[in-house]
Amino acid sequence: MQKKLTTLAILMASLFLLHCTGGGQGRKGEDGKYQAIRTEVPERPAGQKDVLGLVAEKIDTVRVGFIGLGMRGPGAVQRFTHIPGTRIVALCDQHEDRVEKAQAILERAGLPRAASYSGSKDAWKGLCEREDIDLVYIATDWKHHTMMMLYAMEQGKHVACEVPAAMTLEEIWAVVNTAERTQKHCMQLENCVYDFFELTTLNMAQQGLFGEVLHTEGAYIHQLEDFWNTYESDWRMKYNKEFRGDVYATHGMGPASQALDIHRGDKLNTLVAMDTKAVNIPEYLIEKRGVERDSAYMFANGQHTMTMIRTEKGKTIHIQHDVASPRPYTRMYQVSGTKGFANKYPTQGYALQGDVLAEGDLPDHENLSAHNFVSKEECDALMGKYKHRIHRELEEKAKEVGGHGGMDFIMDYRLIYCLRNGLPLDMDVYDLAEWCSLAELSRISIENNNMSVEVPDFTRGNWNKIQGFRHAFVD
Ligand SMILES: NC(=O)c1ccc[n+]([C@@H]2O[C@H](COP(=O)([O-])OP(=O)(O)OC[C@H]3O[C@@H](n4cnc5c(N)ncnc54)[C@H](O)[C@@H]3O)[C@@H](O)[C@H]2O)c1
């Protein structure tokens, strides 16, 4: 009896303690409130400075080397054959036949053969070491991106890397530190920021059409069932099997962050993330690949992952990821402000404060269509009026060359335009860091009962140095 009472007393005391300390899970700050989980922010090494607004010496002819010629890489080689002021110097893939296929693109364009690098997993290093290359363009799988970016910068090259350029905070900090130490451009090839609706909407936001932008959304919702077997050595399935969290957040984060001037006057502060269990991919593995049920269901990545972020200036971003559900492709792009709203999927539209009710009309609570998008004609007129300068200059050529309807060409063109003219690139290494950080930060949140997690300030204190996101032009 005595023993039972003692046990009960210990239990009660423990419960009381748990109550006071938040179950030992949370950390309270001086204000008595629970703090977000904080990851380590390494100090900026002595003698190193940030690369905000970095300008490098003008390069008259940008000499490029490509690494990774699977599904995505050859399209980039093709696009570069249309960009003035470039020379394709070297091509690399571990598979020789893929390099040869890319050489054929050059031949068809009437360009000389490039140097070939293949036959081993390390052949790309030789490409990075060449003296006659200014830019290394990387389109390999996610696990190779960081090592290639770091090595290229160490060899004095600017780098452009496919999305997501880095998968963990350790990788991200290594990339930021190397870019700062070498003062080289390190751009993530996030094409969606150049899509026609997104860039037009960004221009509208920058002209104040939506008032103060308070909330943005983005997503990558794309069932990949037809693609799973096409990736080299199954890298994408393996990654999703191993890691929980939003492993492919950049297509949503790019346009959402630019509309909010992230690290150009505002910064990401905290996030919380949540996911559903995985079903469709494990079932696919059982059905299509004959994987044992127990093993198939040992699948880390949730079927649908949601992340919500709050910024220093009190704005929010909602990002989603789903590569498994049978849903139409969507990037869920939305911009919501005090005076207006933009929505891309499933139909493009704008709603503006003054248009909600015609003058003299009384609110009709039965008629919800009164709270609607502007008419198709008004929408077209707005999109014409606010067409971004980049689109005015490049749209026709971009649609002719192609690459996701033209946005890929615009991305490559802008990269080269800025390098040739010694201008800051449209996307810097801190964009890369912020957009990629969701992979690990959302995982930390999900794996800790969806707790709030601090988003590190990758600029290490300089997020307010530049006011407002703008594209650079010569004149
Ligand atoms: N921005 C977009 O819209 C978009 C679209 C598709 C893919 N991507 C990204 O592009 C990248 C590549 O995707 P993918 O679909 O082409 O994959 P993939 O598997 O088809 O191609 C990857 C290529 O990299 C090569 N490679 C891997 N390790 C190498 C090494 N050590 N040395 C040389 N070559 C090596 C492989 O042989 C393969 O040819 C990924 O990061 C992906 O997320 C972006």
Domain ranges of the chain: 62-189, 193-355+368-390+429-454
Q: Is the pLDDT of residue 140 over 70?
A: yes
Q: Which two tokens stand for residue 387?
A: 């067409």
The pLDDT score that the predictor gives to residue 372 is: 83
Mean pLDDT of the chain: 93
pTM: 0.93
Mutation test of ligand 1: which of 118, 140, 222, 238 has the most ligand atoms closer than 8 Å to its C-beta? 140
Over range 238-267, report the average pLDDT.
98
pLDDT single digits (tens) 15-61: 444 443 444 456 788 999 999 999 999 999 999 999 999 999 999 99
pLDDT single digits (tens) 439-465: 999 999 999 999 999 999 999 999 999
Q: Is the pLDDT of residue 1 over 50?
A: no
The pLDDT score that the predictor gives to residue 420 is: 98
CA quadruple 150, 151, 152, 153: dihedral sign: positive
Over range 387-409, report the average pLDDT.
95
| CATH value of 193-355+368-390+429-454 in 3.40.50.1950, 3.30.360.10, 3.90.1150.10, 3.40.50.880 | 3.30.360.10
- The rounded Å distance from CA 404 to ligand 1 centre is 16
Confidence class of residue 369 from pLDDT cuts 50, 70 and 90? Answer: low
List, in order, residues 6 or more apart from 244 with CB less than 8 Å away.
Answer: 275, 300, 301, 302, 305, 443, 446, 447
Q: Is the pLDDT of residue 145 over 60?
A: yes
Q: Is the pLDDT of residue 175 over 90?
A: yes
- Domain 62-189 carries which CATH code? 3.40.50.720
**Which atom of ligand 1 is found nearest the CA of 68?**
24
pLDDT > 70: what percent of the chain? 91
The pLDDT score that the predictor gives to residue 25 is: 54
Mutation test of ligand 1: which of 69, 78, 121, 141 has the most ligand atoms closer than 8 Å to its C-beta? 141
Distance CA 316, CA 382 (A): 25
The pLDDT score that the predictor gives to residue 27 is: 79
